[in-house]
Structures are given as C-alpha cells and as structure tokens.
Amino acid sequence: MEATEEERLLLTQRLKAAVHYTVGCLCQDVAEDKDVQFTKQTIAAISEITFRQCDNFAKDLEMFARHAKRSTVTTEDVKLLARRSNSLLKYITQKSEELASSNMEQKEKKKKKSSAAKGGKIPGEQEAAVNESEDSNMA
Amino acid sequence: MLLMSRLLCNDGRYKFGTMCLCDFSLQNISGSGKDKNSGRSTLVKQRPAVFPDLDNDTPRNMLKRIIQTQPQVSPLALRISKHEETEGPVWELPAKRISNMGEMQLPDLVPEDASIATFRMTKKRRKISVSEFERAADERLPQNQARSTLDSSTALARSFSMSLGTVIPPDTVEKRGLLRRPKNRRAIDIEAFEGGVEQNMLKRKAQKYLVDSQTASEIQTTVLTSDVEIMLSNTELFVQPQFDDQSQNKLSVLEPQLLNSKTSAQRSKISDAAQEEARLVGTDTRRTPRNSENLILDHEHAGRMTPLSPGTPANQQEDKHSHSQQSNPMKQLSVSEEVAVGTAEHRANAGYSEDLEKTLREKGESQITAAQDARAEPEEGGIAEGSVEHPGSPKAEHEITRSVGGGSLDRHSHTSSSEKSGMKLLKEAVEQADELEDQAIKIELDGTEEGPTEDEAEDPESEGDSIKTPTFVRAVAYKPLLSTPHPAKPAAPKLSTPRPAKPAAARSPQQPLQANRVPKGSGVSRRKTSEPEIASSLIKKIFSHYVKMPVARDAFKIVQKCSEKYFMQLSNDLEAYIHHAGRKTVEMEDLEVLMRRQGLVTDKMPLHVLIERYFPLEYRKLLIPVAASGNSVIPSK
C-alpha cells in the first residue's frame, strides 16, 4: 500500500516534471515571439495549473462518457469538454473533422487494397494496422 | 380672571399670566356685578372710569377698562359656584344657564376663563354669594348660545346640562386651565375632507412612489368612513361573477366586493388601496353607484376629482353607458379606465397619469398578490416583489382582479395568465378610450403590464396557463385593438420614463413586445413569441439580500445582464448534455453533470449533500426519496 502510494507519488512527480518541461519550452517560444520574458515562478505556476486542469479534464471526460452510458471516451466527449471556450471548440471540431476525413480515406484505401489485391493483404494489413494505430493514438 | 386672560390673549396686547390676573379680574367682576345688582355683596369696588394711560397705568386699571369695554363674560361666577357649591347653586346654575342661553350669548372665553377662575378660586377659597354673582354676571354677559354649553364644567353641572339637552364638550376638564379653546364644530364636509386627504396622498405618492405607498396607506388606514367600513365588511375572497348587464347597483356591489377581496388578502397595499377607494366613495360627489366606479380609480384623482367633478361626471356617465353592454368585469375595467382616462384628459398631465398608473399598479399589484396568495404559488414572493417593483404589474393585477371579480374563477390558475387577461382587459379599455392621451397612458400601462408579465413568464407553466385564459375573457379581449395604440407607442416610452422603478433592461423588451402583441391582437396569449425574462425584481431582491448593501440601479442592470447571460449559457450547456446522452428531456443526471462541471459537485461533495444543505424540506422531499413507515417511499416510485 505504501509502496503503491510512493509509486503513485513518484509517477505524479515525473508527470509533473514532464509537464513543467513542456510548459517551459512553450513559454520560451512565446517569449521569443512576443518579446516578453517569463519568470521561473510563472512557468512553475502555469505548469501546476495545467496539471490540475488535466486532472479536471480527465474526470469530466469520464463523467461525460458515463453520462452517455459508454465506457470509452470519444471525440464527442472531448468536444463537449471544449465547449467552454468557443475558439477551442472550433479548433477541436476542425481537427476532429480532419481526423474523421483522414480516417475515412484510410478506410477507403484499406478497402481498395484489400479488394484489389488479396495477396497483398499482409503488407496491406500491416499498413492498415499501422494507420489504425496511428489513428487511435491521435484520437 | 379667565375672561381677563382670554381677553388679553385675544387682544394680544398684554401677555400677563392668567393666574395673577385672576384675583384682580375676580374682584373687578364681582365689583362690577355688584354695581349693577343691588343684591350684590362682598367685594364691591366702584371702578372709576379712567382714560387709558398706557405709560402709567397699572395692569389692573387696564384690565378694568378692558372689562368695561369688552364683552363681559363671567364664567367665574359659574366656576365659583361649582367649587363652593352647595347643591342649590349647582342646580341654579344649569337652570340659569339654560335660561341664559335663550337670553344671552356667552363668549367662547367662558369655559377657559371659568376654569382658570375656578382653579384660582379653589386656591383662594373666596366666599362669594355665588348665585347672586352668577345672576349679575349672566345678565351682563353677551349672548352667545354656542358658548353657554361650555360653561358647566363640573361633572354635576355637566350632567345637568346634558340631561337638559345642552351639548357639553366631552373634553372639558375639571381644571379649566387645561381646557382647550372651544371648538367651532361645523359639520365637516366629508367630500372636501376626503378630497383633501386624497390630494395629500397623491402628493405623497408623487414624491415617493414605492416606499411611501405603504406609509400613506398607513395614514389612510386611520381614515375610515362609515361607508368604507360597511363596504369592507363583506369578507368574500373572490367576487362571484355577475354577468347581468349592468346596473349601477351591480357595479357598486362589485366594487365593494373587489375591495373586500382586496382586504381579504393580507396585504397592506391591498388594504390601503381598498381604503383609498372606500374613501373615494365619500369624496365622490356623485351618487354611490358612481362612487363605486370611482372607488376603483378615483382615489388617485380624488384631489382632481373635486375640481373636475362637473366635467368628469358627464364623462363618467358616458363611460358608464357605453359600457352597459359589456360584461361586468369589463365594465368595471373600462369604467375605471374611462374614469382614469377622463381625469387624465382633463388634467392632460403626465404627472397625474403617473399617479393614476401608480395607484392602479398598486391596486393591481395588491390584487395580484391577493390572487397569488389564494393560489399559494411558490413564486409568490418573487412576484410580489416584482409587483412592487413594477408599476405595470399592479395595473395588470388590478385588471386581473377585476376579471376575477367578474367571475373568471378559473383564472386563478396562474398569475401570468391572469396578468395576461388583465392586460387584455386593459387593452380593451384602451380601445374604448378614444383619446390619444388615454391611449398613451394605457399603452404605458400595457407596457408596464407587459413588462411584469414578461418578467414573470419565465415559468413554462405560465405559458401553458396563459393559453387557458377563459374564453369569455378572451372573447372580450378579442376586440380588435385600435390602430391608435401604434401611434401611442412612441409616447409610451416617454411616459414610461418617469416611472422610477422600471429598470431600463426590463423596459426595452416591453416595447418590442408591444409591437409583437398589437398586430396579433387576438385574445390568444402570445407569450411564447416574446422573449421571456426573469423578473428583475427577483434578481434585485436576491442580489440585495446577499450583498447586504444598497445597490445602485445601474448595478442592477448589469447584474441582470450577467444573470441573463449566465442562465443562457447554463441552458445551452444543459441542452448539449442532453443531446450528448441522446435524450430530449432534462433529467437529474444532466444537472448533476452540469454542477460537476461548475465545480459545485465534486468527489467530496455529492449532489445529495448539496440538496440537503440548501433546499427547504418540501423540495428535498421531491428530490431525495424518503422512506416512511409502512414501506412507503416519498416520492413514490
């Protein structure tokens, strides 16, 4: 029990560190862009906020999925989550549409290949599998 | 002595203490009395006639002169007799009084002087032949029958004079020093008095609309004529519909019933309005049926009514006749409208129309609140507040209660519906009035009505109920709205501006609402077409409660906008959640999702705990099933 707690703590710290690093990088880019400087405390605060907000997102997503009586979190849940901010919602909708269209294309290609050359199924399957795995990751 | 003091006071020349003069005056009077009466005894002093020498004259001499020259009243004698009385002189006194009443007029000063004299007498214990003194004094006294009644101040004498039919002021005191100035009591012109009261009330209303209505009403509550009490004695909650084609009696009957319905509702404003109306009965110079009409609205015009009485009676009569064909409630409404209109016409004064509206609103509001009480609606408090805030709503309520009085008992279903019908009635009344002014005023009232009706139309219930407006009301309201309301509309905003309580935010939807309603002038309520709003009064109330500080009106506007946006966003989110779950009805879980998103419900704070914490028992019972004995669960599933 304590071990798992410690592990959890360790994992959390690692995660926080990762977030902190990413936030630092982003802030650096913005500073270069806008010619503004970021203090370390600012970056630390931003990273802490981001971490907690991610926690909130996760809980909300789970709640949305349960609300729709599903056990999988889908893009619909994400879109619902993003409703808070109009611009974010638009962006996410755009991205999801792009993703959906690329998925469709992938599926069509897959079908063509499978129908065209059944012999080349294995490389096709592999390719499709790779594509699908990519898609799932992205989703 | 008292006489002396009195004379001095009247003259205003001398400001001597009355007491110190008593002795002198007494002596003088007795002396003078003695002079004229041979039978006089005791203190006798001939007073030499002296030219007025103001510089060297002693007060005594001056008083002597006054006594000789001024009308001589000697209540002293009477008082003396009372104090040193035996029964004989006392008996003599009233007899003498009576006899003297016919002969002489006693001045007003008599009682006071006598009282002071008596006081003095008691101190000094002068022994005088009272009866003789009296006789002498009475003979000399100027004749004043009215005053004679005030002479007898002792209880005994008073009783005698009372028994003998004389009028004795009830406030005569044993000690004449405390006696007030004798009052010239003439019959009070009730109408004039009430008119003055109404004017006073109007002025007060004009100054402070909302707050002072209550205070004024408090003041007015004390003023209750007998007619008012008679009229208010009927404690029927709702006036039974009477569809006879009018008789003025019906009107008069309905009016008091309306008043009674008002009073039966436990609202101060209602009682005030009723009392005001009741008072109007007295003020109205016309006959009681007239008065009943005027009761509704005249209290506002009371001040103006009296001057306008020659003009308005004809107007009102016309109105009455014109309405003869309508149903009673409509008649009442139209009559009241006409009356209001008539007075408004005559006055052509926006201020008065404002007063009219205010009073109407007050009444309507009180009536509406009464109706609401009858229905025991949960939103009562908010609506009542709203009615307080919105001048228009009282008018609507006013109309509504009329319709109620007219017999639409079915319409007690909902305030909003009643308001709607009231508004329809009002519109009808507007139609009947042909004056632009009147229309403007009525449009204004319509606007104000619409405002509150719109404000209170938030509930989906109200919308549903509004459809249920009784057919007869709808039929009545079906009269095509005159095109005149349109030109009157631009006047409405101007006229509506003086109304202080109307928030601008709430007002703006009214005019577009008017625009929506007028073309659709059928009796069917078009609440759905107009954008419903939350009662700004409700927002104000809640906000001011939590902020515990006075809030500026601009702040209220902004708060209202914020709350509007908040609730818009809230409902949109709910819609999205419902759609997400593939449903079309809002459920508890949707709201829980919403609250979780808001952060009110967390892993540590479940929804049920929030319900327990913030809801009253009635609501909690609805939301959280409660197990009762006998394996019953509330609410039953």
Q: What pLDDT is attached to residue B57?
A: 78
**Quick check: B535 and B452 in contact, CB under 8 A?**
yes
Q: What pLDDT is attached to residue A48?
A: 92
Tell me the whole-structure pTM to 2 decimals.
0.33
3-state SS, residue B627: strand
Min Cα–Cα distance to chain A from B606, Å: 14
Judged by CB atoms closer than 8 Å, whether chains meet at A80 and B582 is answered as no
Which ranges constitute the DSSP H helices of B324-435?
A: 328-347, 350-375, 380-389, 392-406, 415-432
Q: What pLDDT is attached to residue B237?
A: 64
Q: What is the distance between the alpha carbons of residues B468 and B417, in angstroms, rounded to a whole number?
A: 8
Chain B residues within 8 A of A64 when measuring between CB atoms = 580, 593
Chain B residues within 8 A of A59 when measuring between CB atoms = 596, 603
Write out the DSSP string of B274-303.
Answer: HHHHHHHHHH--S-HHHHHHHHHHHHHHHH
**Quick check: B491 and B511 in contact, CB under 8 A?**
no
* pLDDT class of A24 with cuts at 50, 70, 90: very high
Bridge partners (DSSP) of residue B632 are B628
Residue A122 has pLDDT above 60, yes or no: no
* pLDDT class of A27 with cuts at 50, 70, 90: very high
Q: What pLDDT is attached to residue B182?
A: 67
**Quick check: B334 and B326 in contact, CB under 8 A?**
yes
Which residue in B has a C-alpha nearest to residue A62's C-alpha?
A: B593
* pLDDT class of A29 with cuts at 50, 70, 90: very high
Q: What pLDDT is attached to residue B259?
A: 46
Which residue in A has a C-alpha nearest to residue B577's C-alpha?
A: A80
Model ipTM? Answer: 0.72
Judged by CB atoms closer than 8 Å, whether chains meet at B580 and A63 is answered as no
Interface of A with B in 100-129 (CB under 8 A): none
Min Cα–Cα distance to chain A from B582, Å: 8
Write out the DSSP string of A34-96.
Answer: HT----HHHHHHHHHHHHHHHHHHHHHHHHHHHHTT-SS--HHHHHHHGGGSHHHHHHHHHHH
The dihedral built from the CA positions of residue B540, B542, B545 and B546, taken in this order, carries a sign that is: negative
Q: Which tokens belong to B138?
A: 């009475």
> How many Cα atoms occupy the beta-carbon half-sphere of B342 within 13 Å?
27
Min Cα–Cα distance to chain A from B593, Å: 7
User: Taking Cα atoms as reference points, which of B427, B633, B604 lies closest to residue B517?
Assistant: B427
Instruction: Give the tens place of pLDDT for each residue, A31-90.
Output: 999 999 999 999 999 999 999 999 988 988 888 888 888 888 888 888 888 887 778 888
Write out the DSSP string of B96-157.
Answer: HHHHHHHH----THHHHHHHHHHHHHHHHT----HHHHHHHHHHHSPP-HHHHHHH--SHHH
Q: What pLDDT is attached to residue B281?
A: 46
Q: What pLDDT is attached to residue B235?
A: 63
Q: What pLDDT is attached to residue A74?
A: 86
Judged by CB atoms closer than 8 Å, whether chains meet at A76 and B580 is answered as yes
Interface of B with A in 568-597 (CB under 8 A): 573, 576-577, 580-582, 589-590, 593, 596-597
Q: What pLDDT is attached to residue B146?
A: 47
Judged by CB atoms closer than 8 Å, whether chains meet at A67 and B573 is answered as no
Q: What contacts B499, CB < 8 A, 6 or more positions away?
A: B209, B354, B357, B358, B391, B448
Q: What is the distance between the alpha carbons of residues B263 and B239, in angstroms, rounded to a whole number?
A: 12
Task: Indicate the residue of A59, A68, A83 with minimum beta-carbon distance to B581.
Answer: A68
Integer-rounded Cα Rg, in Å, for chain B is: 36
Other Cβ atoms less than 10 A from the Cβ of B501: the count is: 19
Which residue in B has a C-alpha nearest to residue A85's C-alpha?
A: B569
Q: What pLDDT is attached to residue A95?
A: 87
Min Cα–Cα distance to chain A from B210, Å: 42
CB distance from A82 to chain B under 8 Å? no
CB distance from A60 to chain B under 8 Å? yes
Write out the DSSP string of B575-591.
Answer: HHHHHHTT-SS--HHHH
Q: What pLDDT is attached to residue A91?
A: 87
Q: What is the distance between the alpha carbons of residues B328 and B312, in angstroms, rounded to a whole number?
A: 21
Q: What is the distance between the alpha carbons of residues B143 and B138, in angstroms, rounded to a whole number?
A: 9
User: Taking Cα atoms as reference points, which of B181, B212, B197 lies closest to residue B113?
Assistant: B181
Q: What contacts B186, CB < 8 A, 6 or more positions away?
A: none
> How many Cα atoms occupy the beta-carbon half-sphere of B260 within 13 Å?
20
Task: Indicate the residue of B573, B581, B603 with minimum beta-carbon distance to A67.
Answer: B581
Other Cβ atoms less than 10 A from the Cβ of A21: the count is: 12
Average pLDDT, rounded, for chain A? 82
Judged by CB atoms closer than 8 Å, whether chains meet at A80 and B576 is answered as yes
Phi, psi of A89 (to 5 degrees): -65, -45
Judged by CB atoms closer than 8 Å, whether chains meet at B580 and A60 is answered as no
Q: What is the helix (H) or strand (E) element at residue B634, kind and residue range?
A: strand B632-634
**Quick check: B33 and B13 in contact, CB under 8 A?**
no
Bridge partners (DSSP) of residue B634 are B626
Q: What pLDDT is attached to residue B175?
A: 60
Q: What is the helix (H) or strand (E) element at residue B259, kind and residue range?
A: helix B248-264
Query: Mean pLDDT for each consecutive 10-residue tract of chain B (637 residues)?
Result: 54 48 48 47 48 72 86 59 48 50 48 49 60 76 53 52 51 60 69 82 70 50 52 60 50 48 47 48 47 46 45 46 46 46 45 48 48 44 41 43 42 43 45 45 42 40 46 50 43 42 40 45 53 83 88 89 90 88 85 85 83 84 79 70
Judged by CB atoms closer than 8 Å, whether chains meet at A69 and B589 is answered as no
Which residue in A has a C-alpha nearest to residue B583's C-alpha?
A: A68
Q: What is the distance between the alpha carbons of residues B323 and B330, in angstroms, rounded to a whole number?
A: 8
Q: What pLDDT is attached to residue A129?
A: 44
Q: What is the helix (H) or strand (E) element at residue B158, kind and residue range?
A: helix B155-163
Which residue in A has a C-alpha nearest to residue B587's C-alpha?
A: A67
CB distance from A64 to chain B under 8 Å? yes
A:B CB pairs within 8 Å: 25
Look up tokens 């028992």; give the residue.
B617
Q: What pLDDT is attached to residue B601?
A: 82
| CA distances (Å), origin B178, targets B6, B112, B116, B120 | 13, 8, 8, 13
Chain A residues within 8 A of B597 when measuring between CB atoms = 60
The total number of residues written for chain A in this structure? 139
Which residue in A has a C-alpha nearest to residue B570's C-alpha?
A: A84
